[in-house]
């Protein structure tokens, strides 16, 4: 692992300061892709070959949409994935599906059941990464659902212990990441939203991360994304995690939990959520600049990554695009203010 | 030892397959699309159909006490406050330690009776004349909300209890039992001083109805002091989670006894593995054996609401509960 962020700075970056801008992962699918899926599901006339072509086109389109928004590190908006647990569970041996369950409101996911030993049968994300890296001009990040979340957000009918299941899955995630790194991936984000639900299990997640990074070569950036929880229950413990970056959702709560992180020395880089992904109101550039400056209260600019609170897939596409565009503009403005000395490294107006 | 066994649930059902898609289309997927108490006609109709389906499906399974099912409770146990006119809803927040979220209700003025839950139960009563009502208990409901009106946690608890009592007083006559769900007793245990006040708050709610009132703790068990206070309330029975921590629940029953009527969470509301008839009855038997007082009647239920499960498994759990109590009544 390495904390070297400079290799993600674009050659034509306009400012001396560099706030790395990226996304958490998911992005709204183009309407035509959802229609294509329906056709593919319902009709043999839209065959596998046509579906694969549609997904490739969507991946190319959204990767480009991220680049046109000005993001420094991009992904393809997870066009090949329907849901963050389901996608992986369909590729891991030992899982079965019984139907959707509610997350909130009318948002559901196909929560799978583990009915026998989990096994690594095929690469999970290799195709997604290789395609995206091939079409992207900018560096590509690979978000991957973490083992603790894969365990916690499944019904366990086989192991009788979420901890044991999480460790078994961590070994599979390690195998997958080794394959991704061999294919060229250098920026991996482990998504562990389940840690927010059961923060007392921070040590289990720590052990999972140790297993995940075992044997990885230097030069691979590992991020951890956690969202919608009480961060005081996992901090400062997370300072000991073998990660380069910790990415959190804080815009949704208007930074009411930021002080959790200001007390001790925050060890990893901070990935700060600066736009709310659960409201269709597009934050203004000025508003987002203020949010970014909140992050500077925790880490200096060279350790601050800027992203939306979470995946943006539930937003209308136009809203998601506008939020990301404004986010990038705001980051560039804050960099400019840092360069000019209008604000100091702590985000204070000078 | 003879213990009458009655199969029921503690509500919070998952939306049936057809209505789930229909309601998502009618309402949308954002915070602002959730229930506010003033639904459009098409949405009301979809919930009415859901309610009828729940009653019919419970009857088909053979449950002894049917519930309305609370398909409309977008905000889960926080629902009664989220639709109140003197409450605004804030950001979405995590629902206990689950991968579920609800809109945080922010109480800005007095919690007057709203009639929302009574109207749901009255609709259900058109199809079923002996209903089980399910509400959050005052402590857990207050714990899910933010107070900007009452000024202290004690005054807020009292205010929430008065509000619930007002709702309960307007329940239709068909309501035979009222189960107050208090997961907060386990997830955020109150201190000794609060325990006394909680007992009073529960009595406030219980005094508003002639129905049998049960107080069910899940995701653990109440501590000793609170349990003794609960035994001392005017309620008719207590509930025990025999899935999450059966040891803690049976220890309470062994050390302090139980009311003659209990609610036993013997089916896992959060796992797709469907319990056998024997597993269900073994769990109930072990509890009854440990209790130092006689248990006359036990409502056998899932330990939690069933919305955590896919619809097929939810229905399988209803069937399993009914099958387990068949011939035991």
Write the CATH number for B88.
Answer: 3.20.20.210
pLDDT of the residue at B30? 80
HEC per residue, chain B = CCCEEEECCCCCCCCCHHHHHHHHHHHCCCHHHCCCCCCCHHHHHHHHHHHHHHHHHHHHHCCCCEECCCCCCCCHHHHHHHCCCCEEEEEEEECCCCCCEEEEEEECCCCCCCCHHHHHHHHHHCCCCCEEEEEECHHHHHHHCEECCCCCHHHHHHHHHHHHHHHHHCCCCCEEEEEEECCHHHHCCCCHHHHHHHHHHHHHHHCCCCCEEEEECCCCCCCHHHHHHHHCCCCCEEEEECCCCHHHHHHHHHHHCCCCEEEEEEECCCCCCCCCHHHHHHHHHHHHHHCCCCCCEEEEEECCCCCCCCHHHHHHHHHHHHHHHCCCC
Beta carbons of A72 and A332 less than 8 angstroms apart: no
Q: How far is A314 from chain B (nearest CA, A)?
A: 7
Contact B271 A156 (CB under 8 A): yes
Distance of residue B15 Cα from the nearest chain A Cα, in angstroms: 9
Q: Which residues of B touch A230 (CB under 8 A)?
A: 94
For the cut 80, the answer to whether the pLDDT of residue A248 exceeds it is yes
Instruction: For A158-210, write each residue's pLDDT tens digit.
Output: 999 999 999 999 999 999 999 999 999 999 999 999 998 888 899 999 999 99
B20/A100 touch (CB, cutoff 8 Å), yes or no: yes
Asked if ipTM goes beyond 0.90, one says yes
Contact B82, B75 (CB under 8 A): yes
Summarize the confidence of residues A75-92 as an average pLDDT: 95
Between chains, do A314 and B99 touch, taking CB under 8 Å as contact?
Answer: no
Q: What is the pLDDT of residue A2?
A: 44
Cis peptide before A236 (omega within 30 of 0): yes
pTM of the entire predicted model: 0.86
Residue length of chain A: 350
With a CB-CB cutoff of 8 Å, which residues 31-70 of chain A face chain B?
Answer: none
Distance CA A320, CA A23 (A): 11
Among B22, B94, B99, B314, most A C-beta atoms within 10 A, so best to mutate, is B99
Among B24, B30, B101, the residue with its CB nearest the CB of A280 is: B30
The band of A138, judged by pLDDT with boundaries at 50, 70 and 90, is very high
What is the arithmetic mean of pLDDT over A267-279?
96
Indicate the SS3 state at residue A222.
strand
Rounded CA-CA distance B235/B201 in Å is 11
pLDDT of residue A350: 87
Mean pLDDT of chain A: 95
Q: How confident is the model at residue A263 (pLDDT cuts 50, 70, 90)?
A: confident
Structure tokens at A49: 């070959």
3-class state of residue A227 by DSSP:
coil
Q: Is A256 on the interface with B (CB under 8 A)?
A: no
A307/B192 Cα distance (integer angstroms): 44
Residues of chain A in contact with residue B71, where contact means CB-CB under 8 angstroms, are none
Structure tokens at A278: 């659960």
Q: For chain B, say whether A316 makes contact (Cβ under 8 Å).
A: no
Are residues B15 and A102, on separate chains, in Cβ contact within 8 Å?
A: yes
- Contact assignment for B92 to A100 by CB distance below 8 Å: no
Helices B116-125 and B41-61, packing angle to 10 deg: 50
| SS3 state of residue A145 | strand
**Other C-beta atoms lying within 10 Å of the C-beta of residue A337:** 20
Q: Do B100 and A104 touch (CB under 8 A)?
A: yes
- Which tokens in the block code for residue B7? 């199969």
- pLDDT band at A1, cuts 50/70/90? very low
Mutate to test the interface with B, among A26, A84, A106 (most CBs of B within 10 A): A106
CB under 8 Å, gap of 24 or more: what pairs does A228-231 form?
A228/A193, A228/A196, A228/A252, A228/A310, A228/B92, A228/B93, A228/B94, A228/B101, A229/A193, A229/A195, A229/A196, A229/A197, A229/A199, A229/B94, A230/A196, A230/A199, A230/A257, A230/B94, A231/A196, A231/A199, A231/A257, A231/A260, A231/A261
Beta bridge partners of B173: none
Q: Which domain holds residue B178?
A: 4-325
Q: Tell me the pLDDT tens digit for each residue of B3-49.
A: 899 999 999 999 999 999 999 999 988 888 888 889 999 999 999 99
Contacts of B23 in chain A (CB under 8 A): 106
Closest CA to A272 of A13, A31, A22: A22
Provide DSSP, A45-85: TS-HHHHHHHHHHHHHHHHHHHHHTT-SSB--TTTT-S-TT
**Residue matched to tokens 């892709």:** A33
Q: Measure CB to CB from residue B312 to each of A98, A197, A280 and give the nearest one.
A: A98
Give the residue ranges of chain B where pLDDT is below 70. Answer: 1-2, 327-329
The answer to whether A152 contacts B34, with C-beta atoms less than 8 Å apart, is no
Distances, alpha carbon B308 to alpha carbons A36, A155, B267, in Å: 30, 10, 13
In angstroms, the separation between the Cα of residue B173 and the nearest Cα of chain A is 31
User: Could you say which residues from 83 to 122 on chain A have a Cβ atom under 8 Å away from some Cβ of chain B?
Assistant: 98-108, 111, 113
Q: Whole-angstrom Cα distance, residue B227 to residue B214?
A: 13
Closest partner residue to A98 (CB to CB) among B23, B102, B310 is B310
Q: Number of structural domains, chain B?
A: 1
Beta bridge pairs of residue A49: none
Backbone angles phi, psi at B216, to 5 degrees: -115, 125
Q: Give Cα B160 distance to the centre of its chain.
A: 16
Number of inter-chain CB pairs under 8 A, A vs B? 87
Is A111 within 8 Å of A85 (Cβ atoms)? yes
Lowest-pLDDT range of A44-58, A322-336, B22-36, B292-306:
B22-36
- Chain B positions touching A276 (Cβ under 8 A) are 91
- Out of B17, B32, B97, the one facing A198 most closely (by C-beta) is B97
A93, pLDDT greater than 90: yes
What values do phi and psi take at B161, rounded to 5? -65, -45
Interface test with A, best of B31, B310, B313 (most A CBs within 10 A): B310
Residues in chain B: 329
B315 Cβ contact list (under 8 Å, min separation 6): B57, B61
CB atoms within 10 A of CB A191: 26
B207/B137 Cα distance (integer angstroms): 14
Contacts of A148 in chain B (CB under 8 A): none
What residues in A contact B15, CB-CB < 8 Å? 102
Q: How far is B254 from chain A (nearest CA, A)?
A: 27
| Cα Rg, chain B, nearest whole Å | 18
Interface contact flag, A278 B30, Cβ < 8 Å? yes
Mean pLDDT lowest among A27-36, A73-82, A230-239, B46-55: A230-239
Question: Structural domain boundaries of chain A?
Answer: 6-84+125-340
Q: Which CATH class is domain A6-84+125-340?
A: alpha beta
The pLDDT assigned to A3 comes to 52
């Amino acid at each position: 692992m390495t904390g070297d962020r400079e290799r993600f700075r674009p050659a034509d970056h306009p400012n001396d300061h560099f706030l790395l801008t990226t996304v958490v992962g998911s992005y709204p699918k183009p309407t035509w892709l959802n229609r294509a899926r329906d056709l593919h599901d319902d009709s043999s006339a839209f065959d596998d070959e046509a579906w694969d072509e549609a997904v490739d086109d969507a991946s190319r389109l959204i990767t480009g949409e991220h680049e046109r928004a000005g993001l420094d590190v991009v992904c393809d908006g997870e066009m090949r994935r329907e849901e963050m647990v389901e996608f992986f569970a369909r590729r891991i041996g030992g899982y079965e599906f019984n139907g959707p369950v509610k997350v909130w409101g009318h948002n559901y996911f196909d929560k799978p059941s583990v009915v026998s030993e989990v096994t690594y049968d095929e690469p999970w994300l290799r195709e997604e990464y290789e395609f995206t890296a091939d079409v992207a001009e900018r560096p590509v990040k690979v978000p991957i659902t973490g083992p603790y979340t894969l365990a916690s957000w499944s019904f366990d009918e086989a192991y009788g212990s979420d901890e044991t299941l999480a460790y078994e899955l961590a070994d599979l995630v390690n195998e997958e990441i080794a394959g991704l790194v061999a294919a060229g991936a250098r920026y991996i984000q482990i998504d562990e939203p389940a840690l927010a639900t059961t923060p007392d299990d921070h040590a289990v997640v720590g052990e999972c991360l140790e297993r995940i990074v075992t044997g990885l070569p230097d030069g691979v950036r590992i991020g951890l994304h956690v969202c919608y929880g009480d961060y005081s229950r996992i901090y400062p413990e997370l300072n000991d995690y073998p990660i380069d970056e910790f990415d959190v959702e804080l815009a949704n709560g208007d930074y009411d939990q930021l002080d959790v992180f200001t007390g001790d020395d925050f060890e990893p880089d901070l990935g700060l959520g600066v736009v709310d992904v659960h409201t269709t109101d597009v934050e203004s550039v000025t508003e987002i600049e203020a949010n970014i400056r909140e992050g500077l209260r925790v880490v200096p600019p060279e350790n601050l990554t800027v992203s939306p609170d979470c995946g943006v897939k539930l937003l209308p596409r136009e809203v998601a695009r506008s939020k990301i565009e404004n986010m990038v503009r705001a980051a560039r403005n804050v960099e400019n203010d840092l360069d000019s000395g209008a604000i100091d490294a702590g985000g204070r107006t000078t | 030892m003879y213990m009458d066994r009655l199969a029921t649930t503690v509500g919070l059902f998952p939306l049936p397959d057809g209505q789930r898609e229909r309601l998502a289309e009618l309402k949308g997927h954002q915070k602002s699309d959730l229930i506010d108490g003033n639904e459009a006609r098409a949405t009301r109709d979809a919930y009415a159909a859901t309610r009828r389906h729940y009653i019919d499906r419970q009857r088909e399974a053979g449950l002894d006490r049917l519930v309305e099912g609370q398909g409309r409770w977008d905000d889960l146990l926080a629902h009664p406050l989220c639709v109140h006119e003197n409450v605004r809803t804030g950001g979405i927040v995590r629902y206990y330690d689950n991968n579920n979220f609800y809109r945080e209700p922010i109480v800005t003025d007095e919690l007057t009776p709203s009639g929302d839950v009574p109207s749901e139960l009255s609709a259900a009563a058109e199809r079923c004349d002996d209903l089980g009502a399910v509400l959050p208990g005052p402590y857990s409901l207050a714990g899910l909300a933010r107070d900007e009106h009452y000024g202290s946690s004690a005054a807020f608890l009292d205010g929430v209890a008065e509000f619930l009592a007002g709702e309960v007083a307007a329940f239709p006559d068909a309501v035979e039992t009222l189960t107050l769900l208090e997961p907060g007793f386990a997830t955020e245990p109150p201190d000794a001083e609060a325990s006394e006040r909680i007992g009073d708050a529960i009595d406030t709610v219980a005094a508003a109805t002639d129905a049998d009132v049960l107080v069910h703790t899940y995701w653990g068990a109440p501590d000793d002091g609170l349990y003794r206070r609960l035994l001392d309330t005017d309620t008719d029975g207590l509930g025990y989670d025999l899935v999450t921590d059966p040891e803690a629940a049976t220890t309470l029953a062994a050390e302090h006894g139980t009311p003659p009527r209990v609610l036993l969470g013997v089916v896992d509301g959060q796992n797709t593995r469907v319990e056998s008839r024997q597993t269900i009855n073994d769990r109930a038997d072990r509890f009854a054996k440990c209790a130092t007082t006689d248990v006359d009647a036990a409502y056998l239920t899932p330990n939690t609401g069933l919305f955590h499960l896919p619809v097929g498994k939810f229905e399988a759990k209803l069937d399993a509960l009914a099958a387990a109590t068949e011939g035991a009544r």
